[in-house]
Chain A
């Protein structure tokens, strides 16, 4: 009897995780393409399909970091975003890592990098050659240099853009200013 109870509880939690996952994925914009390799999947967007990630309206602070595997300062600061996402996951803070790697490097560079670093944060690929069209829509002040980060609060509309690298301390203090 005890085994059945345990199994039932286990089954329930599996169902709960499943519902959570489905509910969660429904709130993500639909990707144009999905890259999959060895259990790692990367959703790929052009700017139009990606844009909802920058304009969510729920009660969460979104930390959106633009990076690429070839960008050395991005790789240096990436662990800070990972640490922040873990430290603040119960405080309605969500980190999204937006890779600007080229599509042809996804299987060669991006997925191996994700596997090696065991990335915990959510990640997507933004692949849109019309950079002059979409860069100013992320922020008019962005010159296009990487790394770059947008932090915004979905419910208050508070939003700030950073064309710079972060230390963990800088990143945390910025994020704190967005938490109600």
Chain B
């Protein structure tokens, strides 16, 4: 009888965890965790290394996903425009290479070189950081602003409103948000949705 009860409990836990809707992670206004992750150049990178930054454009991205690839050039452009204004791009690959071979650390190095990444491209070894942020897909952006309480989340979502045609973009969500923060204004559109590749943990 006891065994049956235990089995039932195990079954319930398995069932519930199988159907847990991803909804955890940060909301706008939360303070985001720092991390220490390995960059493609072999060095460890933390947000606290950036003493003079005003904030960060943290983007969960990867090598294999067509949506992530569609935004690589736009990430380089964002970094070129905003790192000198105090908002560098920090890219993190959250995928487990055992589940998605193309997202291995070695292939990250290749991709960063091919695309001329001007920003760190970090490996979330063990897939520990992305769940804290609540990222569910690539690409998935979190804009953080340095405040007295820490790195505060100011925006979560997409880079802009057209992944396929950069020339057809009507709203540049990330640029609008960072521009507002640089002017000391509040971000108007704080959350957006876009299709992406689910994170493979």
Q: How far is the CA of A132 from the CA of B19 in the complex (A)?
A: 25
**B196 cross-chain contacts in A, Cβ below 8 A:** 143-146
| Interface size grouping (class) on chain B | 20 to 34
Choose among A102, A141, A142, A146 the residue that contacts B197 (Cβ–Cβ < 8 A).
Answer: A146
The chain A residue with its CB closest to the CB of B100 is A72
**B197 cross-chain contacts in A, Cβ below 8 A:** 70-71, 145-146
Choose among B22, B168, B194, B200 the residue that contacts A131 (Cβ–Cβ < 8 A).
Answer: B194
Interface centre among B163, B196, B197 (most CB of A within 10 A): B197
Interface centre among A71, A102, A129, A144 (most CB of B within 10 A): A144
B195–A144 CB distance below 8 A: yes
Interface membership of A97, Cβ < 8 A: no
The chain A residue with its CB closest to the CB of B157 is A132
A132–B21 CB distance below 8 A: no
**A142 cross-chain contacts in B, Cβ below 8 A:** 193
**B158 cross-chain contacts in A, Cβ below 8 A:** 131-132, 144
Q: Tally chain A residues at the interface, Cβ within 8 Å.
A: 24
Name A142-180 residues within 8 Å CB distance of B: 142-147, 162-165, 170
From known contacts A129-B161, A129-B163, A145-B198, infer whether A135 and B193 are also in contact, taking CB-CB under 8 Å.
yes
Per-residue interface assignment for chain A, residues 70 to 106, with 1 indicating a CB less than 8 Å from any chain B CB and 0 otherwise:
1111000000000000000000000000001010000
Closest CB of chain B to A130's CB: distance in Å? 6
B162–A100 CB distance below 8 A: no
Q: How far is the CA of A71 from the CA of B165 in the complex (A)?
A: 20
The chain B residue with its CB closest to the CB of A166 is B18
- Mostly helix, strand, loop or mixed at chain B's interface? loop
A144–B161 CB distance below 8 A: no
Closest CB of chain A to B183's CB: distance in Å? 23
Choose among A132, A162, A170 the residue that contacts B194 (Cβ–Cβ < 8 A).
Answer: A132
A130–B195 CB distance below 8 A: no
Interface membership of B23, Cβ < 8 A: yes
A144–B137 CB distance below 8 A: yes
Q: How far is the CA of A132 from the CA of B162 in the complex (A)?
A: 9
From known contacts A141-B21, A143-B22, A170-B18, infer whether A131 and B195 are also in contact, taking CB-CB under 8 Å.
yes
Interface membership of A136, Cβ < 8 A: yes
Choose among B18, B161, B200 the residue that contacts A130 (Cβ–Cβ < 8 A).
Answer: B161
A136–B195 CB distance below 8 A: no
A163–B165 CB distance below 8 A: no
B163–A143 CB distance below 8 A: no
Binding site for B on A (CB under 8 A): 70-73, 100, 102, 129-132, 135-136, 141-147, 162-165, 170
Excluding A142-B193, A162-B21, A170-B19, 9 further A-B contacts by CB distance (< 8 Å) are A71-B198, A129-B165, A131-B158, A132-B173, A144-B136, A144-B196, A146-B197, A164-B21, A170-B18
Closest 10 CB pairs of A and B: A145-B137, A135-B193, A145-B198, A143-B136, A132-B192, A145-B136, A129-B162, A131-B194, A70-B66, A144-B193
